[in-house]
Every structure is written in C-alpha cells, then in structure tokens.
Structure 1
Amino acid sequence: METALLKKTLNESPAAYAVHNVLNVTSEIGQLKTVLLHRPGQEIENLTPELLERLLFDDIPYLKVAREEHDYFANVLRENGVKVLYLETLAAEAIKDQGVKTQFISQFIDEASVESESLKEALTEYFNSFSNQDLINKMMAGIRREELRDFHRISLYDQVNNLYPFICDPMPNLYFTRDPFATVGNGITMNHMRTQTRNRETIFAKYIFKNHLQFKDAQIPFWFDREEDTSLEGGDVLVLSDTTLAIGISQRTDAASVEKVCRRLFQNNSKFETVLAFHIPSSRAFMHLDTVFTMVDYDKFTIHSEIEGPLTVYEMTKHNGKNGLKIKIEKQDMKLEDILKKHLGRDIALIRCGNGDKIAGAREQWNDGANTLAIAPGEVVVYSRNHVTNKVLSEEYGVKLHIIPSSELSRGRGGPRCMSMPLYRENL
C-alpha cells in the first residue's frame, strides 16, 4: 500500500531537489545522500512468457508485491538519511517545455523502431493526449496495439506487421537504474547499452541531464555518450576511491568502452589516476561486475568465488608522451586482494558469496548475494533471501545489514545495487 510519504515523494516539485543539486560519487561506500530509483510500473504487467528472452527477463514478477518490496527498499533509504528521487518523476519534469517534449516524443518513437510513417503519426497524436507524467509512465509501460483503436492499417507494412502485440515494447528492466548511466566523480557515463531493449532506457537520462532544471546548467562532464558504437553498462562501473575506478569487461561492456572512459577521465584532468579493467567471464549469470563483486567497507568486498580463477585485471594509468596523452596498460599478475591493497592502501578481505560453499554460493549469487548497496562504510542493503551470505557479512565481518524483502524484485536478476543509482555521496 502506498504511504502518504511515498505519494508526497513521487510528486515533489523541482525545488525539493535543491539539497544536492550537483553530482558527487568518489567512492562506493561514502555516506549516501541522494539516489535515483524507479518504482516498478505497468511495464511489469506487460511481460509474457513469449517475450521474456526478448526483454531480458527470466521470470515474471508479481507487480503488487514487487512494488511493496521496492517501497520498503526506498523507505529504508529514507530512514537512513538518503534523499530518494524517482526516474519517472524527473523525466516528466524534464519535458515541461513544449519544444523539448515534441523532440522527446519524436526521438522516443524513432528509437522504438516504429517504421511506418502513418503509425508514427498516430502514435505522436496518442502521446500528445497525455499529461507529462502519464506520458512517461505510458512510454515505460509499452504500447499495446489495441490502444490505437482509431488507427487504420492501410500500408502494406502495417498489415504485414499486425501480429506482434506491442507497437512499443515495455521496459521492465527500468527498475535497475544502475545501468543506463553511472555517476563517476562529478560527471556521468551516459551509456550505450548492449541490447536495443535496454538502450532505449537511456533516453530518459539523456533528457533529464540535458533539460531538467537541477542539472542542465551544472556543466556536468560526460565521460561516455549513448551515441557511442561500443557498449557500456552502469553495473560494470565501480568507484573504488577518488583516484581509482574499476570497470568490468563483461557480457554487457566492451573493452573499447573502458578505454574510452579512461581516456576522457585523463584528458579532462579529473582526480582519477587509475582505471582497473576487470575482465570477467561473459555469461548471463555474471552479467555485470557488480553481480559478482561489490565494496561494503574500506577494506571489505563481497565476491563470487567462481570468478576468482578466470578473473584478469588490467591496470590503466596516465602518461604524457611526446605526442600527447598515453595510456599505459599493464596486466596484473598479483592476487585480487593484493591489487586492491596496492590501490586502496590497506589489507583487503574478500567475503565469498554463500560463504564459499559451491551450492550456496551459486544459488545466492544467482539471487544477487554479492550485489550489495553500501549506504555508509560497513553498512549495506541486502536481499533477505541470501541468508548464508548475510550471516557471514554480519556475524564474521561485522557489517551492518539493512535486510529488505526480495521474493519478486529478485526475479529480474538484480540486487539492491542494481536497483539504485547514487547521485551524491559524501567524500570519505
């Protein structure tokens, strides 16, 4: 059930966002002050068994319970001093200008692969019948064919392509706000995601950062752009410290993208001195770096033990050559603990998902046991279902846990870190 607090937050005015109107993420564990979430919406109700593979889902969550779990998550954050913003609210506020709204609708239709000109015209008219907030919600939910009741399929294209149930696909992955962009320092990577299904999600972030009152004049540096021809996803980006960034080379992120981000950070004289490229196995189970590796304290990380053998780490550092900037790339032959110790300046403990047990580890990693969200050093949000990992974190390593229900949210294959995009953390 929606609480009065939730209703108020979902409808806050732009002035309410002025507490932290710039981006600042210089670690994974600094006190979390502002975070971006997306409350699961009707896009979940538009999932069908036939569309699961196309839309990158393994199961169909029960929306009512998924929302209750997500509201619990959001309230845990608020109760611990975190300002919660919602993607859907910011996106609606970003298109208040009619010219921006018109451009947004046109680009959205183009990126939804609506090829018939007559259908584009009908869809444009349909979208313009909604208020801004209802428009955003409808775009996220997807457009079923029967919603355009007055559209007459005259062209050959419209008649031949009349069997697929959607004019615009739903976006059920949106509640994983970690992936479309990533806050790095005082800038962002505006990501080009691996699949068309998810790449469409980045349009909301584009308009928010280009047009929302709280961001458009902030001169935010973009370390990557959604128009790039190589892929990068936010779940592969971990800010280890104010000088060291880790990026996964994974099923969803290309090595070329890592090098592009590295070069732009170095060219723009950011404080980052090192980028560590973590090459992890390319598989659905390991999807992003943060599904197998997250930071929970100054000297503690969760990890899925199955990546430790095949994991390769490359150190990328800045060097000024005769012909300008050079990036020195060195494959690291040390153990992961020693690599992290070198860059963080302290001994490191790797906390293995499922306590290193082969069965428990595999099961809990599938349910994102290693995907923790730190809200302060040594204080993290975790899923209730990963009880083996949670017990180890709490009882053996003294990590403070905020345990949230997870029966339905976990069906999307993402944990608390996946479901959150920090916009502002206090510096350590």
Structure 2
Amino acid sequence: MSHSINVNSEIGRLKKVMLHRPGKELENLMPDYLERLLFDDIPYLEAAQKEHDDFAKLLESLGVEVLYLEKLVAEAIDAEGLKEQFIDEWMAETGLEPGQNYDDVKKYLMDMEDTYEMVLKTMEGFKKSEIKHESNGFDELLSNYPFLVDPMPNLYFTRDPFATMGNGVSLNHMYSDTRNRETLYGKYIFKHHPEYKGTALYYERDEDTRIEGGDELVLSKNTLAVGISQRTDKYSIEKLARNLFKETEFKEVLAFLIDNNRKFMHLDTVFTMIDHDKFTIHPEIEGELQVFSVTPGENGEIKVAKKEGLLEDILAEALGLDKVTLIRCGGDDIVAGAREQWNDGANTLTVAPGEVIVYNRNTVTNKLLIENGIKIHQIEGSELVRGRGGPRCMSMPFVREDI
C-alpha cells in the first residue's frame, strides 16, 4: 500500500520534499523588531531567493520531487472552496480586534482573485500604510509599530510547523505566537488537500504545550528522537509518544535534554543522522547531555527511564548496531566548532545513506564529513543562514524510500 506520507528514517533516499521559497515577508523585517520575529539579522531577499532556488534545483537534480508550501495551501483552499473559512481562521490569529482594521484586512484578502497570491499575502503581513482609514483609538495613535499584522519570516524553515513520521504528521504547537500562526497552513494541507487530507495526525496544533519539527528526528521505523529544548516541552513528548505507540509501529522515543537557549534552539542544530551508523554532533552538548527512553506502558500509558552511558552507545543500542560514529562539528577545534555550529554546520539534510546537503561555508566540518566517507553536496547559504537554519531546517520530507 502506498502512502502520501512515508518517512521511516532520516536517511532513506529522499523522493519528495516540501520547501517554502522566501518571499516578501523577509522584506518586512526591521532591526528594532528582529527579536520579536526570532531573527538575528536581515537577509537580502533577492540573494536569499537565488540561494534557495539553487537548493531546490540541486534536490531536483538528485531525483527529488520538490513541493512548495504556498502552492499546497492554495490547492487545498481551492479544492474545497474554503477561501473565506481560511481567511477567518487566519484573521482570528492575527491579534487584530474586531473593528475597521479587521474588516479592511479581511476585505483586502477576500478581494484577491488568485488564491496563491492571497496565501503569499497572509505570509507577508500587513503594514499600517496599506490599510488607510481615520483612527479613533488611543492604542493605534500612540503606537509606532508599523504593522497591523506581523509577517512570518521564519516560514522558509519548513521543518518546524509540522513533522512527518511514519505515514503521519505531528502538527505542532510552536514556541512563539510569531511562529504558531504558521501551523495553520499545515492544518489546511493535511485536512483539505486532495492528496494529503486524511493524513494521520499524531499531535494537533491546538494542544497547550509546545513542540517543533527541528526537535523531531526519525532514527528508524521503530525509534523517534525528540529534543527537550527551548522550543519543545517534555510534556509534548509524552503526548506525542502516547499517540505514536497507540497508532504506529514506533516502540521507543528517545528524549534528548539540550540547553534551553537560542544557540541550541533545536536538536537538529546540534545533531543529525547522515548514514546508517554516522551522525553529526556539536561537541558542546556531549558532556552533559541527558537521554531518556520513553516506551509503552500499560493501559495506554508510557514509561520514562533515564539512559545511562555514552551517547554513541545509546544510539548504537537503539539502532541495533555494534557501534556508531559521531562526527564533531568543527572537529576538535573549539573556535571552529562554535562558529560552524552557529552557521549550521551540524544541520545536514541527508538525501540518501551517506549522502548529504550542507552549506559550503562550514569548511572544517565539511572536510571531516568527506574524510569519514560521506558524499557532500554544497550550497551557498550566506543569506539563508541569517535566519539561523541549515538544509535540514529548510526542508520537510514527505516521502523517503524505506531502508
């Protein structure tokens, strides 16, 4: 039986992947409000789009079908005539109060004839200057904030709003309001798109604890790894594990406790699987990393136990191997390791066992990958990396070959 979603590993040959081409939302980033929108810098849109287009072309040259988030959402809306329903749901999460601004923004979107362009506009946000009327409230007159509706500049990191695993999806509740709005697009894809509606959902966006896709890694058809991080709560892992054990073949969730800070925002910024027995890792997390095993208990409950021993031994046991190799980002050079981890040297996208896509700027780590027998495809990422994400962050696999 074929499934529209089939992801039983991090390394099976990639056949279908979803991206989002950076759009005008990046041009709505402003220095004074970068922290609010979870950015450290402002990418140059034209260059970021070229880098992203080159990334997509590389994937296609490797035999990967590339889907785009914005197109899938538009197709889902059109397929079931849900334009006004979608706009109403999107409006409800903008923070706009009922009144003239609310009505004007909704009318603007409703008047757009092309659904695809309408979807892009919801991602771009609305400046106050686009919706002109006489204000009669103190809040608006006293505020210097230039937006009625915030942009969604993080959307090109498609890894986070949801995560594919097995034949289903974890539709996530995200860490910040800025990004939680992104998950509405996933809801429409998996509940209304002709090809993807009816996909099993192992987590729902209206849950009250946070989880993000950068923390969710499919180690094998039986084992999921999830980071307890700045962006993912331990209670979310318990909820996800209960659903997986009830509905899928997963038998264990390994929870990795990593530092709760911006530097290590997701598990996949410090740890990715690149071959049957090889992983990239940022050396800073190794010493104090705690790992917990979540397994099925009785009556639909779960059991949580701390795993003792070295990380490589824990991973080897989980994968049924004698040993695994950890390839350290930056090698043994603490300066190179810190610099290249910041530039996502450990955030690799595996396209087949032992074959990965990486940023060309991480020269020390890339050399180590080659020395360890890994085939690398290098992409330019000088603008894309300003959002603090690498090739894995920018991609959401829909189909991988089973291994």
Query: In 2, are the aligned partners of 1:116 and 1:157 still within 8 Å (CA)?
Result: no
1:285 aligned residue: 263
**What does 1:352-363 align with in structure 2 at a 5 Å threshold?**
352-363=328-339
**What does 1:50-129 align with in structure 2 at a 5 Å threshold?**
50-96=32-78, 99-129=81-111
Shift of 1:93: 1.1
Shift of the 243–98 alpha-carbon distance from structure 1 to 2, 3 Å rule, reads: closer
| 1:356 partner SS | coil
Deviation track 1:214-260 (CA, whole Å, cap 9, x = no partner) reads 111xx321111100000000000000000000000000000000000
Aligned length: 400
Determine if the alignment matches structure 1 residue 403 to structure 2 residue 375.
no
Select the residue among 173, 184, 189 that pairs with 1:203.
Answer: 184
1:167 aligned residue: 148
Deviation track 1:171-208 (CA, whole Å, cap 9, x = no partner) reads 11000000000001001000000000000111111111
Select the residue among 300, 308, 313 that pairs with 2:278.
Answer: 300
Query: In 2, are the aligned partners of 1:116 and 1:158 still within 8 Å (CA)?
Result: no
Deviation track 1:31-71 (CA, whole Å, cap 9, x = no partner) reads 00000000000011111101101000000011111111101
Shift of 1:326: 3.0
The one-letter code sitting in structure 1 at the alignment partner of 2:318 is: H
The one-letter code sitting in structure 2 at the alignment partner of 1:214 is: E
Q: Where does structure 2 lack aligned partners over 5 or more consecutive residues? A: none
1:226 aligned residue: 205
Shift of 1:117: 2.1
Identity of aligned residues (%): 56
**What does 1:267-346 align with in structure 2 at a 5 Å threshold?**
267-268=246-247, 270-320=248-298, 324-346=299-321
Query: In 1, are the aligned partners of 2:80 and 2:192 still within 8 Å (CA)?
Result: no
Shift of 1:154: 3.4
Shift of 1:359: 0.3
The one-letter code sitting in structure 1 at the alignment partner of 2:152 is: M
Deviation track 1:90-109 (CA, whole Å, cap 9, x = no partner) reads 11111115751111101111
C-alpha root-mean-square deviation of aligned residues, in Å? Answer: 1.2
The one-letter code sitting in structure 1 at the alignment partner of 2:246 is: Q
1:237 aligned residue: 216
Select the residue among 355, 371, 383 that pairs with 2:347.
Answer: 371
Q: Distance in 2 between matches of 1:410 and 1:417?
A: 12
Q: Which moved more, 1:379-388 or 1:91-100?
A: 91-100
| 1:238 partner SS | strand
Q: Distance in 2 between matches of 1:23 and 1:353?
A: 31
Q: Distance in 1 between matches of 2:80 and 2:243?
A: 34
Query: In 2, are the aligned partners of 1:277 and 1:316 still within 8 Å (CA)?
Result: yes
Determine if the alignment matches structure 1 residue 212 to structure 2 residue 193.
yes
Q: Distance in 2 between matches of 1:115 and 1:185?
A: 40
2:161 aligned residue: 180
2:325 aligned residue: 349
Shift of 1:156: 4.8
Determine if the alignment matches structure 1 residue 134 to structure 2 residue 134.
no
Shift of 1:153: 2.2
Q: Distance in 2 between matches of 1:187 and 1:46?
A: 34
The one-letter code sitting in structure 2 at the alignment partner of 1:165 is: P
Q: Distance in 2 between matches of 1:32 and 1:63?
A: 27
Query: In 2, are the aligned partners of 1:192 and 1:232 still within 8 Å (CA)?
Result: yes
2:361 aligned residue: 385
Segments of 4+ in structure 1 off by > 3 A? 154-161
Query: In 1, are the aligned partners of 2:79 and 2:193 still within 8 Å (CA)?
Result: no
Shift of 1:116: 3.6
Query: In 2, are the aligned partners of 1:193 and 1:232 still within 8 Å (CA)?
Result: yes
Deviation track 1:356-412 (CA, whole Å, cap 9, x = no partner) reads 210000000000000000000000000010000000001x21100010001101110
Shift of the 98–300 alpha-carbon distance from structure 1 to 2, 3 Å rule, reads: closer
2:245 aligned residue: 266
* Superposition TM-score, scaled by structure 2 size: 0.97
Query: In 2, are the aligned partners of 1:21 and 1:214 still within 8 Å (CA)?
Result: no
Q: Distance in 2 between matches of 1:136 and 1:357?
A: 45
Query: In 1, are the aligned partners of 2:163 and 2:396 still within 8 Å (CA)?
Result: yes
Q: Which moved more, 1:356-365 or 1:140-149?
A: 140-149
Determine if the alignment matches structure 1 residue 34 to structure 2 residue 35.
no
**What does 1:151-166 align with in structure 2 at a 5 Å threshold?**
151-161=133-143, 163-166=144-147
Query: In 1, are the aligned partners of 2:74 and 2:119 still within 8 Å (CA)?
Result: yes
Q: Which moved more, 1:93-102 or 1:299-308?
A: 93-102
Q: Distance in 1 between matches of 2:237 and 2:30?
A: 35
Q: Distance in 1 between matches of 2:62 and 2:365?
A: 23
Shift of 1:343: 1.1
| 1:257 partner SS | helix
The one-letter code sitting in structure 2 at the alignment partner of 1:252 is: R
Shift of 1:80: 0.4
Deviation track 1:337-366 (CA, whole Å, cap 9, x = no partner) reads 000111112210000000121000000000
Q: Distance in 2 between matches of 1:293 and 1:42?
A: 31
The one-letter code sitting in structure 2 at the alignment partner of 1:249 is: I
Q: Distance in 2 between matches of 1:138 and 1:55?
A: 17
Query: In 1, are the aligned partners of 2:101 and 2:131 still within 8 Å (CA)?
Result: no
Q: Where does structure 1 lack aligned partners over 5 or more consecutive residues? A: 1-19
* Superposition TM-score, scaled by structure 1 size: 0.91
